Amino acid sequence: MGAVVMAVGATVMLAGCGSNSSSGQPTPSNSQAVTTTAAAASTSAGGTNTAPEGENPDVEGRNPNAGGENPNSGGENTTAAPAPAQQSTTPAPAVLWDPCGIPNADIAKLEYSPDGKTTASVSDGSGEKSCRWPSRTGKSEMTIVSTRQTVQDFMQSGRYVGFQPLSVGDRAAYQYRAAQDTNNIGCYIGVTVPGGLVAFVTRNLQPDAGQEPCAAARRISSVLVEYLP
C-alpha cells in the first residue's frame, strides 16, 4: 500500500509540471498568465498617450486661421484708394482784346470823334466786343470789332465776299466786304490775333463822304495795329 501511494503522488506532480507536446515550451501557470495580463493593462493605462497630452497643432499650437495674423482683418488694408478726379487740361479761352480802350488822342488823329464813341451790344454769349466812332464830318464811321471767330469762319459763313490777302504792319490780314453791300459803301480789314480776329470796318453814310471805304480801312488799321494783342 505504501508503494501505491508514492506512485500516485508522483503521477500528480508529473501532471502539474508536464510539457506542451506541441510547442516544446513549458505552459505558464494560471497565476503567471494573470500577472502578464495585468502588466499589459497597466502599461496601456499608465504609459504616454501622445494624443491627449502631447502637442496638438490644431488645439494648443499656433492656428494661423485662429490666433495668427489675419491680413484681411488686423493687417494693413491694401485696398487701393479711389483715383482722384482727373482735372480738365483744356486751356481757358484767351481774353478778348477790347478796342474801346484805344486812347482818344489816337482816334482824333484819324479824324474821328472820340466824344461820339458808342459800344455795340452783343447778346449771343460770344463775348464779342466792338466800339464805333463817327467821323468829324458825320458822313462816315469806323467800327473795330474783336471776336473769337476766325477768317475761315467769315469765309464759310457766306455773308462776306471778295477776300483779298494783305499785310497790316507785320501781320497777315484779309480785305473783304459784306455780301449784301451791293453799293460798296463799306469795307473790312480782318487781322488774325490770338484767340480770334480783329476787324477794322469803315462805312460811308453819305455819298459825298470823300473817302473810299477800303482805302480808309487800310489807313486806320495800319495806324492802330500796334494796339492789337
Cα–Cα distances (Å) from 75 to 25, 65, 79, 80, 170, in that order, read: 71, 13, 12, 15, 70
Give residue 49's pLDDT band: very low, low, confident or very high (50, 70, 90): very low
Residue 164 forms beta bridges with which residues?
A: 175
Contact of 139 with 209, CB cutoff 8 Å: yes
Say what the pLDDT of residue 120 is: 76
How far is Cα 207 from Cα 193, in angstroms, rounded to an integer?
Answer: 33
Instruction: Please tell me the predicted confidence (pLDDT) of residue 22.
Output: 40
Give me the pLDDT at residue 92, please.
60
pLDDT at 28 over 80: no
Mark 172-186 as b/e (b = at least 16 C-beta within 10 Å): ebbbbbbeebeeebb
Q: Please state the pTM of the whole predicted model.
A: 0.60
Higher pLDDT, 123 or 151: 151
Q: Which three cell numbers stand for residue 133?
A: 466812332
Q: What is the pLDDT of residue 128?
A: 87
Domain ranges of the chain: 99-227
Tens digits of residue pLDDT in 184-200: 999 999 999 998 999 99
Instruction: Report residue 80's pLDDT band, with 50, 70 and 90 as the boundaries.
Output: low
Whether domain 99-227 has CATH 3.40.1000: yes
Whether the pLDDT of residue 171 is over 50: the answer is yes
Q: What pLDDT band is residue 121 in, cutting at 50, 70 and 90?
A: low
pLDDT at 212: 95
Q: What pLDDT sits at residue 127?
A: 72
Q: What is the pLDDT of residue 31?
A: 39
**Residue 142, H or E segment:** strand 140-147
Tell me what the pLDDT averaged over the chain comes to: 74
Q: What per-residue confidence (pLDDT) applies to 90?
A: 59
Instruction: Categorize the per-residue pLDDT at 164 as very low, low, confident or very high, splitting at 50, 70 and 90.
Output: very high
Q: Which residue has the higher pLDDT, 120 or 110?
A: 110
Cα-based angle 185, 189, 194 (whole degrees, multiple of 5): 150
